[in-house]
Amino acid sequence: MSDTMQELEASVRMSDAERAVVRTRRRRRLVRVGGGVAALVVFVAAVIGSGLVIDAAAPGPDEVVQEYLDAIAAGDATSANRLAPPGASPYGTMLSDDVLSSADERISSIVVDPADGAPGADRVDVTGSYELGGIRHPFSIGVDRLGWFGSDRSFGSHWSITEPLIASVSVTADAGTTLSIGTTSVSALRDSVTLPLYPARYSLLDTGSSLVAVDPLVLDAGAAGAVDAGSGARTATPELAPALEAAVAERIAFCTTVTDPSTPACPFQAPVTGNVTWRLAADPTVTITSLPTPDGTPGGVTLSGGTAEFSVDGTTFTPVPVQASWTFTITGDTVAVTPF
């Protein structure tokens, strides 16, 4: 065989070998791609079937309520708010860790009854009781079955509290008064405010004025809709008397500029007619008879013991007494007298 023929045969044999390698590589590539397709099918099947797994693993309605009440008992308002978002309120800061953890007493001895209802029910009312202030308080909390993605339950569902256990506590306070629990404060928007509170016993402080000291209001938020709010005693601070005397002095100073001999809004009158000129001869004693109340009733103050001189056309007459019974109000640290 010639050298040329040998080289041609070797070339043909190499081509056959290369073609075999190519075929092997193609088979391996197909096997790998096929394995990927199989893995994808298994993954999709797992996701589609995961609804049953999620439902089985998700806590039941009674377990959700137990976790919720345990958070309230521990003073953990953040977790309670997450488990059952409260509605909007201008006083929503009262549903905070600071307020709940500052409570004088929180709920304890929680008993959650086994959840009642058909296995496929969309809503369950979980009942039970807890102890607060030596009294057992029953509760009923609505729990709904919700999808993980809103109303879509294709990927499973879970139980969610839709009726938070929040008490609405009505408190009477002057508009603008600062009310505090712990280090959290709110300003009363009107004379009567409704505070949302988790069930507990709280001490509510009225810290709106340095002129009046108010004993803490004891709020017993035993259960939603069943609230006993006490009323704190109010006493004057040492700062009230000089503030009231200053307000009275300002009013009297105005009255000395009035030329009418008998002005009802002033604490002195002259038994004459015509224009008069006034001069305060002796300051009156200012006595507080009552303090303003949270329902808006003003405080009382009397003026006695003072004298005022008056003159007509340069003639000075015998001084007349300075005496009156007025009312006064307090806004923050400001006193206003009403001469009627």
The answer to whether residue 50 sits within a structural domain is no
CA angle 279–285–286, rounded 5-degree value: 110
Number of domains comprising the chain:
3
pLDDT tens digits for range 41-52: 333 333 333 333
Q: CA of 50: how far to CAs of 44, 56, 172, 195, 201, in Å?
A: 10, 10, 53, 43, 44
Whole-angstrom distance, CA of residue 130 vs CA of residue 134: 10
The answer to whether residue 72 sits within a structural domain is yes
Do residues 100 and 200 make contact, with C-beta atoms less than 8 angstroms apart?
yes
Same domain, yes or no: 153 and 181: no
Same domain, yes or no: 65 and 117: yes
- The larger pLDDT score, comparing residue 14 to residue 117, is at 117
Q: Which of 195, 210, 236 is the last residue of a domain?
A: 236
Same domain, yes or no: 249 and 232: no
Q: Which of 191, 207, 236 is the last residue of a domain?
A: 236
pLDDT score for 295: 74
Residue 293 backbone dihedrals phi, psi, to 5 degrees: -110, 160
Whole-angstrom distance, CA of residue 45 vs CA of residue 253: 90
Which domain range does residue 200 map to? 167-236
pLDDT tens digits for range 140-167: 999 998 876 665 666 677 889 999 999 9
For tokens 């003159």, the residue is 311
Question: What tokens does 291 get?
Answer: 């303090």
The answer to whether residue 195 sits within a structural domain is yes
Q: Is the pTM of this model over 0.85?
A: no
Identify which of 238, 336, 228 has the alpha carbon closest to the alpha carbon of residue 292.
336
CATH code (residue 127): 3.10.450
Q: Which of 131, 161, 191 is the last residue of a domain?
A: 161
Residue 100 has pLDDT above 50, yes or no: yes
Same domain, yes or no: 195 and 224: yes
Whole-angstrom distance, CA of residue 64 vs CA of residue 90: 28
Same domain, yes or no: 90 and 153: yes
pLDDT score for 84: 95
The answer to whether residue 206 sits within a structural domain is yes
The answer to whether residue 28 sits within a structural domain is no
Same domain, yes or no: 227 and 253: no
| Overall average pLDDT of the 136-141 stretch | 94
Give the chain's mean pLDDT: 81
- The larger pLDDT score, comparing residue 19 to residue 188, is at 188
Same domain, yes or no: 149 and 205: no
The answer to whether residue 32 sits within a structural domain is no
The answer to whether residue 124 sits within a structural domain is yes
pLDDT tens digits for range 283-307: 999 999 999 987 778 999 999 999 9
